[in-house]
């Protein structure tokens, strides 16, 4: 049984809408998966960084106290100044590295790449359609 022109248009529109919804659902699932992975990675990173910073703080405090005690009689001001300078310089250096790392964009990277691929394929299809008519 042949379909009329209006039924074919509605059928094609329905198939297009179903395809778009399925494609959108796939992309949304990918985005949710990436967000869950990023959340787990960030939680692990925060816990490891916190433990590492706590141990580093204890070690640096102990080392600084040792240096100051060793030079207390002869060079106490120099020992305190140099220790403070090294700590401040190191903290500034680590702060700069942290800022650079924070500027890197990795959130939803694969989802955005997939959207770019989809857009390129759609543009390729749009370019190919006029050629098919001739």
Task: Write down the H helix ranges in the chain.
Answer: 5-70, 72-103, 109-133
- Write out the two tokens for 47: 């816990």
Query: Is residue 88 very low, low, confident or very high in pLDDT (cuts 50, 70, 90)?
Result: confident
pLDDT digits (tens, 9 = 90+) for 49-62: 889 888 888 988 89
Residue matched to tokens 């240096």: 67
pLDDT of residue 45: 86
Average pLDDT, the chain: 82
Mean pLDDT, residues 80-95 taken together: 87
Mean pLDDT, residues 80-98 taken together: 87
pLDDT of residue 129: 57
pLDDT digits (tens, 9 = 90+) for 115-133: 788 778 777 766 665 555 4
Q: How far is CA 32 from CA 21, 26, 40, 81, 110, in A?
A: 16, 10, 12, 51, 11
| Phi, psi for 106 (deg, rounded to 5) | -125, -10
Residue with the bigger pLDDT between 134 and 4: it is 4
Residue with the bigger pLDDT between 30 and 126: it is 30
CA count, 13 A, side-chain hemisphere, 104: 5
Mean pLDDT, residues 54-83 taken together: 88
Residue with the bigger pLDDT between 51 and 1: it is 51
């Amino acid at each position: 049984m042949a379909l009329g022109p209006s039924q074919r248009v509605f059928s094609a529109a329905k198939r297009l809408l179903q395809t778009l919804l399925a494609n959108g659902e796939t992309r949304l699932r990918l985005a949710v998966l990436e967000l869950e992975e990023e959340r787990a990675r960030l939680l692990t990173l925060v816990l490891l960084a916190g433990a590492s910073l706590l141990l580093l703080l204890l070690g640096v405090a102990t080392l600084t106290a040792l240096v100051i005690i060793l030079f207390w009689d002869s060079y106490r001001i120099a020992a305190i100044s140099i220790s403070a300078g090294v700590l401040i310089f190191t903290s500034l250096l680590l702060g700069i590295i942290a800022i650079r790392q924070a500027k890197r964009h990795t959130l939803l990277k694969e989802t955005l790449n997939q959207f770019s691929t989809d857009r390129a394929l759609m543009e390729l299809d749009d370019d190919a359609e006029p050629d098919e008519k001739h």
